[in-house]
């Protein structure tokens, strides 16, 4: 029995004798429509007790409640992924020759997207005036917004508010065992498809994650096998639209990035023409004691080594008050490490999420450290 994450369908409502008018009334109170005939219970409600039986995971309600009080990128993404999974479980309008793909397959495989939305000031087009890609197009959407199921189909193309059906013929090697009776594209093929239907950046994030995951599970050989499988998926897409983006994404992916932010930073630095980018480098002092492992290490135009760190708000959350200014405070530890790096002659550039979506500001920060870009 699939885990529905507090979801109830229109068919279940009809079977339980719940009138359509009651469903419509609950939608302004404790019910949100995620897809065609699929609703999620957003809170406990004494006025609409008929829907409380659909609450099979109270932790999802707690997660939704915490988001209403305090915004969190990680919690928002987790909740949105659960909403996607619940729709994929409950959706009943698949065609016999559908294959789940695109962002829907990414959700099933656990492949990250570019995590939510870029800052509002960034342009949403695929390329700039020079034809260079610099933005991501694929997102999960905000919690509670409509979920689109994405599928491939050998004969049909169709797009509505609830489904995107793209035309493609997939061989058996590009499919995995079925998800609730429907085949799904393999993880390597899914990563390649994300680049094809999105941008190189979308594909890079997916390829980077798959390579890192394979390395974590099976070491260097596992990472190499995963790269070969993605290369095979690209060959299967030869001649199809977007395949060059997929090749560029795989060529740029290293499998060394430890977060979506680091994958995006790697992509931006490649775009800016920075060469000899080293990742996850352990730096030691003169006594061979480990100072720390840095996200990126490059050499400036004046031959000075430059450490580039991509900061995330999540790891600093809750540590900005005066009472946490001790050794257990990540901010304090980061400052001590940065001071040690500077004493050894390194320059340090710290980037945050917004910097990664503002190429002009990113270039300025790197040039201030005398990095040629």
Query: Domains of the chain: which residue ranges?
Result: 7-256, 267-368
8 A C-beta contact, residue 143 and residue 67: yes
H or E segment and range at residue 282: strand 278-284
Interstrand relation of 149-153 and 158-159 (parallel, antiparallel or unpaired): unpaired
Residue 320: which pLDDT band, with cuts at 50, 70 and 90? very low
Please state the rounded mean pLDDT for residues 301-316. Answer: 78
Report how far residue 111's alpha carbon sits from residue 312's, in angstroms, rounded to the nearest whole number: 19
8 A C-beta contact, residue 280 and residue 256: yes
pLDDT in tens, 141-194: 888 899 999 999 988 888 998 999 999 888 888 888 778 889 999 999 999 999
Please state the rounded mean pLDDT for residues 97-102. Answer: 94
- Return the SS3 of 278: strand
8 A C-beta contact, residue 312 and residue 73: no
pLDDT confidence of residue 328: 56
Percent of the chain topping pLDDT 70: 87
| Four-CA torsion 237, 243, 246, 248, nearest 10 degrees | 140
What burial letters (b/e) apply to 216-233, b meaning 16+ CB within 10 Å? eeeeeebbeebbebbebb
What burial letters (b/e) apply to 96-132, b meaning 16+ CB within 10 Å? eebbbbbbbbbbbbebbbbbbebeeebeeebeeeeee
pLDDT in tens, 15-73: 989 999 999 999 988 999 999 999 999 988 888 888 888 888 888 888 888 877 776 77
State the DSSP string of 149-217.
EEEEESS--EE-SSEEEEE----GGGEEEEETTEEEE-HHHHHHHHHHHS-HHHHHHHHHHHHHHHHHH
Torsion region of 37: left, alpha or beta (phi above 0 gives left; psi -120 to 50 gives alpha): left
Please state the rounded mean pLDDT for residues 321-345. Answer: 69
DSSP class of 131 = S
pLDDT confidence of residue 244: 93
Residue 329: which pLDDT band, with cuts at 50, 70 and 90? low
Q: Is 241 exposed, middle or buried (0-12, 13-18, 19+ CB in 10 A)?
A: exposed
pLDDT confidence of residue 332: 65
8 A C-beta contact, residue 354 and residue 365: no
pLDDT in tens, 216-227: 999 999 999 999
CATH 3.40.1350 for domain 267-368: yes
DSSP class of 53 = G
pTM comes to: 0.84
Q: pLDDT higher for 350 or 324?
A: 350
Would the pLDDT of 248 be above 90? yes
What does pLDDT average to over the chain? 85
The set of residues, in sequence order, having a beta carbon less than 8 Å from that of 90 and lying 6+ positions away, is 2, 4, 7, 9, 35, 38
Report how far residue 247's alpha carbon sits from residue 238's, in angstroms, rounded to the nearest whole number: 10
pLDDT confidence of residue 205: 93
Nearest to 190 by CA among 201, 177, 205, 174: 174
- Return the SS3 of 86: helix
What's the alpha-carbon Rg for the chain, to the nearest Å? 23
């Amino acid at each position: 029995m699939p885990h529905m994450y507090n979801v109830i369908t229109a068919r279940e409502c009809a079977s339980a004798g719940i009138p359509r008018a009651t469903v419509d009334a609950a939608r302004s109170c404790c019910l949100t429509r995620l897809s065609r005939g699929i609703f999620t219970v957003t809170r406990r409600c004494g006025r609409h007790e008929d829907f409380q039986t659909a609450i099979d995971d109270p932790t999802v309600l707690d997660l939704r409640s915490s988001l209403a009080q305090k915004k969190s990128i990680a919690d928002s993404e987790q909740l949105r992924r659960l909403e996607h999974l619940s729709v994929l479980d409950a959706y009943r309008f698949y065609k016999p020759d559908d294959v789940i793909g695109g962002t829907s397959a990414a959700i099933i495989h656990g492949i990250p997207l570019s995590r939510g939305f870029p800052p509002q000031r960034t342009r949403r087009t695929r390329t700039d005036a020079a034809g260079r890609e610099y933005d991501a197009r694929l997102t999960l959407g905000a919690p509670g917004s409509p979920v689109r199921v994405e599928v491939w189909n050998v004969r049909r193309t169709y797009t509505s508010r609830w489904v995107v059906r793209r035309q493609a013929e997939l061989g058996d090697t590009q499919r995995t065992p079925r998800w609730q009776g429907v085949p799904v594209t393999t993880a390597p093929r899914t990563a390649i498809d994300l680049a094809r239907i999105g941008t190189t950046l979308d594909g890079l994030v997916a390829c980077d994650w798959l390579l890192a995951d394979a390395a974590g599970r099976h070491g260097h050989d596992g990472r190499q096998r995963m790269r070969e499988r993605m290369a095979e998926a690209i060959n299967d897409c030869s001649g199809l639209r977007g395949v060059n983006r997929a090749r560029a994404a795989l060529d740029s992916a290293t499998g060394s990035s430890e977060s979506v932010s680091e994958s995006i930073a790697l992509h931006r630095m490649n775009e800016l023409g920075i060469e000899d980018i080293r990742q996850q480098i352990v730096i030691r002092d003169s006594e061979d004691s480990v100072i720390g492992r840095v996200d990126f290490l490059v050499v400036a135009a004046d031959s000075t080594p430059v450490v580039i760190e991509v900061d995330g708000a999540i790891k600093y959350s809750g540590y900005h008050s005066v009472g946490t200014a001790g050794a257990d405070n990540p901010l304090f530890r980061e400052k001590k490490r940065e001071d040690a790096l500077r004493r050894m002659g390194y320059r340090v550039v710290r980037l945050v999420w917004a910097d990664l979506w503002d190429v002009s500001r990113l270039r300025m920060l790197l040039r201030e450290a005398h990095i040629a870009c």
